[in-house]
């Protein structure tokens, strides 16, 4: 009996046989695609009888296949066999009826391949650190906005009523939204998503949830993915919408996904910990150096979409330069603690619109490169003696162009995955940047 068979039996004993199971495949954009399967037909899934085209891993953000990836109809659009990811069978408490969901992966024979699967890309980078005798411990923080329900998809967002322009840590805001926030936390508990703190963030209708640290890095990414789905589902029940879009309001802070990482050795000791209080240990310095050195090449992962680059504009409330510091939230890489079990780095440039598997893979891959090279970072922001680094790219096309030819990206993600990812991003650029915006008509049509 497989691990999933045992998990299925336990689930049915606790919740009854679900009316349906939603099979969720994470694509390159972190959009969940898949099928509904009647609960009575679960043997089809475990027996390898449920399939999807392999190209489902790499459509553009609009859902269309991208011929230049080498996937899709250009090669006959072959199927892959779906397999459940153990530990991800969860109740959808916001859905009507008895409904379950489970993450799935796929490959030609049911085994996921790192050339297509973002989850496998992350696994490979965990394995790289394991080969160095190191085990990462990670946690994520996710920000999102709650907005009024819109009648059309192209309508701009509006915050819920009776909110201050700056609600940062405002307990009254939490009280006013206690029904929604309680339902979100209840859904997280039902799904076993290990939430820590919940706060009102700066923007109107913006909230942040922190998750507990775990040494199961794949599970941490699974949790971030499932949390985004749960939030959207719960908020929709309240006749509102939730968005993890990087920058839904031009004049308000964007949504970020911060990632905290520490490393343990075989004895379970945190190798980032310094011997002396206030100092930065050598391995942590190497890790920071690797993350900073790879940040420009991997920006297309941390900022995947057109809207993502609005967070890298001046006064956007997000770090926009590859720099580092101690307890300094202006830095792209912050060191909240440098000694003891909590010694870690916090990577702060990713938007909440990232693929969490790829974002974590990019950070861990940069850490591994820095440690292997024994690289040294530039001076800290806190030291005040360093020449400011040039800012990160604010132009989407330039970031994707750099990524597409990057040896660093090829090493961390694999050359084939880098090329597939770049092809999808270039297609998205072609699709979205050729649309004439309403502001162009308003500014030019009757004047020129």
Angle CA(179)–CA(181)–CA(186) in degrees, nearest 5? 95
Mean pLDDT of the chain: 93
Q: Read off φ and ψ for residue 260, nearest 5 degrees.
A: -105, 135
Average pLDDT over residues 403-424: 98
Confidence of residue 144 (pLDDT cuts 50, 70, 90): very high
- 66: confidence class by pLDDT, cuts 50, 70, 90: very high
Query: 359-403 pLDDT, tens per residue?
Result: 999 999 999 999 999 999 999 987 765 678 899 999 999 999 999
Q: If you average pLDDT over residues 49-55, what whole number do you get?
A: 96
- CA end-to-end span of the chain, whole Å? 72
pLDDT higher than threshold 90 for residue 307: yes
| CB hemisphere CA count around 2 (13 angstroms) | 12
From the options 3.30.590.10, 3.90.180.10, 3.30.70.260, 3.40.50.80, give the CATH code of 124-433. 3.30.590.10
The mean-pLDDT minimum among 61-70, 264-273, 438-447 falls in: 438-447
d(CA 59, CA 71): 9
The pLDDT value given to residue 171: 76
What's residue 311's pLDDT? 92
Domain spans, the chain: 3-113, 124-433
Q: Is pLDDT of 167 > 70?
A: no
The CATH class, in words, for 3-113 is: alpha beta
Question: Which single residue is written with the structure tokens 């990836």?
Answer: 69
Question: What was the pLDDT predicted at 154?
Answer: 85
Eight-state DSSP code of residue 268? S
For 394, the token pair is 């604010």
**Residue 263: what pLDDT?**
98
- What would the pLDDT profile of 16-40 be if each residue is shown by its tens digit? 999 999 999 999 999 999 999 999 9
pLDDT for the residue numbered 387? 76
Q: Could you tell me the pLDDT band of residue 203, with boundaries at 50, 70 and 90? A: confident
Mean pLDDT of 166-178: 73
Q: Are 146 and 160 spatial neighbours (Cβ–Cβ below 8 Å)?
A: yes
Average pLDDT (95-99) is 96
How large is the average pLDDT for residues 149-164? 84
3-state SS, one letter per residue, for 209-261: EEECCECCHHHHHHHHHHHHHHHHHHHHHCCEEEECCCCCCCCCCCCEEEEEE
Beta bridge partners, 105, equal 83
Here the tokens at position 178 are: 């206690």
């Amino acid at each position: 009996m497989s691990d999933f068979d045992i998990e299925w039996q336990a689930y049915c004993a606790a919740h009854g046989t679900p009316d349906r199971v939603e099979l969720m495949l994470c694509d390159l954009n972190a959009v969940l695609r898949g099928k509904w399967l009647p609960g009575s037909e679960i043997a089809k899934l475990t027996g390898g009888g449920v399939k999807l085209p392999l190209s489902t891993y790499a459509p553009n953000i609009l859902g269309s296949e991208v011929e230049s990836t080498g996937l899709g109809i250009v090669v006959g659009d072959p199927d892959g066999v779906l397999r459940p990811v153990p530990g991800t069978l969860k109740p959808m408490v916001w859905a009507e009826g008895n409904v379950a969901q489970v993450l799935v992966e796929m490959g030609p024979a049911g085994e996921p391949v790192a050339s297509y699967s973002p989850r496998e890309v992350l696994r490979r980078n965990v394995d790289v650190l394991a080969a160095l005798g190191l085990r990462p411990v990670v946690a994520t923080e996710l920000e999102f906005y709650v907005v009024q329900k819109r009648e059309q998809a192209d309508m701009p967002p509006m915050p819920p009523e009776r909110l201050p322009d700056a609600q940062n840590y405002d307990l009254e805001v939490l009280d006013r939204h206690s029904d929604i926030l309680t339902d979100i936390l209840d859904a997280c508990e039902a799904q076993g998503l290990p939430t820590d703190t919940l706060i009102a963030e700066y923007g109107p209708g913006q909230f942040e949830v922190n998750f507990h640290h775990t040494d199961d890095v794949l599970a941490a990414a699974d949790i971030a993915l499932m949390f985004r789905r749960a939030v959207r589902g719960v908020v929709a029940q309240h006749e509102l919408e939730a968005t993890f879009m990087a920058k839904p309001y031009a004049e308000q802070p964007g949504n970020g996904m911060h990632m905290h990482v520490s490393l343990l050795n075989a004895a379970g000791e945190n190798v980032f910990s310094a011997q002396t209080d206030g100092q930065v240990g050598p391995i942590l310095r190497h890790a920071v150096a690797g993350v900073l050195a790879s940040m420009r090449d991997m920006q297309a992962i941390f900022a995947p979409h057109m809207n993502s680059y609005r967070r890298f504009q001046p006064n956007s409330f997000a770090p926009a330069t590859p720099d580092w510091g101690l307890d300094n939230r202006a830095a792209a890489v912050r060191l909240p603690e440098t000694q003891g079990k909590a010694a870690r780095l916090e990577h702060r440039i990713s938007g909440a619109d990232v693929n969490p598997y790829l974002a974590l893979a990019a950070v861990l891959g940069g850490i591994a490169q820095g440690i292997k090279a024994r690289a040294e970072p530039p001076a800290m922001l806190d030291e005040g003696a360093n020449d400011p680094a040039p800012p990160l790219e604010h132009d989407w096309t330039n970031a994707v162009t750099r990524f597409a030819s990057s040896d660093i990206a090829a090493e961390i993600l694999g050359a084939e995955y880098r090329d597939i990812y770049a092809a999808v991003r270039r297609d998205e650029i072609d699709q979205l940047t050729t649309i004439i915006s309403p502001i162009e008509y308003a500014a030019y049509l009757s004047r020129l």
